[in-house]
Amino acid sequence: MTYVIYCLVFIFYCIGVVHPINEKCSSDNDCSKDKSFCIDDVCQCDRLSIYSKNIKQCWNYATEYAADCFEPEQCTEFLGEHGNCINNKCLCDDGYKWLGGSCISYVGKNESCSENVSCLDANDPLALTCIDGVCQCRAGYYDRGMDCRIQSEYQKECAINKDCFPTSNSVYSYCKLGKCTKDSTFKSDIEENVTISNSLLYFNEDNTDDCSQGILSNFTKEDCSKCSKHLYFRDSICICRPGYFLQDGECIPELGMSDSYKHYTEDSDCPIKPSKLSNGICYCKNYWFQHYTNRECKKTTLQYTYNCMDNDWCKAMGPYAYCDSNTKQCKCIDQAVLNSDTFLCEIPGERNLTGICLEDTDCSLYQKCLNQECQCENEFSQMDNTCLPKIGGSCEIFNCSHIENAECISNQTCQCKSSAYVTDGYRCLEKSTHLNDECSIEEQCQDIPHSSCISSSNGSSYCTCQNNYLDKNGTCYLKREYKSQCASRLDCTILLGDSFVCRNSLCQCPVYYTYKDDVCVRSSSSKILALYFMLWALVFVILM
């Protein structure tokens, strides 16, 4: 009855299967538009999601640090009260840092600290300590001004020259290729490629945690609560507890978090590489940087090379450095200058960071910080200030309607509607079927052998035979000339004409024929006879 009245009032809801939140429904299908579910005959978000006014759909509560978000409420469930949605990522509020499974209040170098406010350098959580109420360098670290770095010595590892301390006053050492070296003529025995993969290695223990078996999301509430690293989230689903993250089906502790199940005794026990153990807790190996997610150790650039793969490497030059993506070299941002003594990028005078980014967390959804600018990630492209999916990109949040002939398929990626279409990543266009069909992208000509999408003199582009191929009867054939190589007679006749044959693997005239004016003509018999007699005359002369 109510449904009928409902239909009378909102006719289009009954004919189109498009029901927004809070409206009547008969199945989840009716609610798919805003990713809600049909619960008690009404479209609503389930226990694991929350309605976002920003994107007009239900969106999941974060179940890990740095998850995508639109509303702060999506973050606070997992991150706690100091969690927030910043630039579409669940991060901690200003003045708080994610460590050990919560957003902890912290202060930086030179600031005043107490038992309630810890000293922290997010790139190296071991660097600072609270001495006399002020954050200072921990023992074994030296003061570089802006930060504290591990002190090294002759023949030990380093990243910048200042890391190397002389063993005696008479020895000057500097950092060459990751090792403190005496002088420029010193031959370093350290290999240039100290590549250690970031892949996760597991050590085998006889008593495997029962909790690491099976698919986490299938755990019952009882199974889940038995496991020390797990959490039964919103009374609905088993996830990794804050401070742990899911990797290959197992919950592993983030950097700076102690493992509640396994006791680590060596650096190699750490699941994240390359790391070192300190008081049974894993941190990144000396001079490597802890990624903001606490799930990865990032390599450092060297003062000797300036090499980098991404911005994180350049943190050796302080916060005002970035990795130039063209040269793969660390540089100071435009307003900063390099202090050659400390290897720090310093901003003389007032800093103004408007319009530039220093880290990926400065950028919004589906963006990364590249060359001081927020740019769309590879599978997305910029449209009206938003990064929308290209073909192959995720349509979890944005649908694919901005690409004609594309749709959001079941694995949540944008794909062309059928195999009749081809794509350059940005568009879905029909495949060309005939030579000289108009085209816009190279991919359209892929079914026509030896053709390419080539622009013609009148401005349009067509599927045209490639260089060295000629269009004959709608097909591209390899160009042949008189005496070109051939495999069959057709090779020769198709372009040169029926008078040619393939003889000794060359396009030439049949015997008794000669090449004349681009065709093969029969040699006149008189000429052959004359030749015959001349030959005999020659033989006769020689024999005499």
Footprint of ligand NAG on this chain (CB under 6 A)?
33, 109-110, 114-116, 145-146, 191-193, 214-215, 218, 352, 354-355, 399, 401, 409, 411, 413, 415, 456, 458, 460, 473
Instruction: Quickly tell me which residue has 């002939």 as its tokens.
Output: 405
CB neighbours of residue 183 within 10 Å:
10
**217: amino acid identity, one letter:** S
By residue count, the chain amounts to 544
Q: Smaller CB distance to ligand NAG: residue 146 or 277?
A: 146
Q: Which residues contact 514 (CB under 8 A, 6 or more apart)?
A: 520, 521, 523
Query: Least distance from C-beta 5 to ligand NAG, angstroms?
Result: 26
Among the listed residues 155, 169, 124, the one whose alpha carbon sits nearest the alpha carbon of residue 142: 124
Q: Using alpha carbons only, give the angle 229, 231, 232 rounded to the nearest 5 degrees.
A: 150
Query: Least distance from C-beta 220 to ligand NAG, angstroms?
Result: 11
Q: Smaller CB distance to ligand NAG: residue 113 or 180?
A: 113
Sign of the torsion formed by the C-alpha atoms of 294, 297, 298 and 303: positive
Query: Least distance from C-beta 351 to ligand NAG, angstroms?
Result: 9
Yes or no: say if 432 and 439 are a contact pair by the CB < 8 Å rule: yes
Q: Smaller CB distance to ligand NAG: residue 168 or 419?
A: 419
Tokens of 68: 């995508």
Query: Least distance from C-beta 166 to ligand NAG, angstroms?
Result: 22
Buried b (16+ CB within 10 A) or exposed e, 196-223: eeeeeeeeeeeeeeebbeeebeebeeeb
Q: Smaller CB distance to ligand NAG: residue 145 or 166?
A: 145
Q: Smaller CB distance to ligand NAG: residue 216 or 272?
A: 216
Query: Least distance from C-beta 514 to ligand NAG, angstroms?
Result: 25
Query: Least distance from C-beta 456 to ligand NAG, angstroms?
Result: 4
Q: Smaller CB distance to ligand NAG: residue 218 or 488?
A: 218
Query: Least distance from C-beta 349 to ligand NAG, angstroms?
Result: 10
Q: Smaller CB distance to ligand NAG: residue 143 or 481?
A: 143
Sign of the torsion formed by the C-alpha atoms of 8, 11, 13 and 15: positive
Buried b (16+ CB within 10 A) or exposed e, 75-85: bbbbbbebbbb
CA-to-CA distance for 465 and 476, rounded, in angstroms? Answer: 6
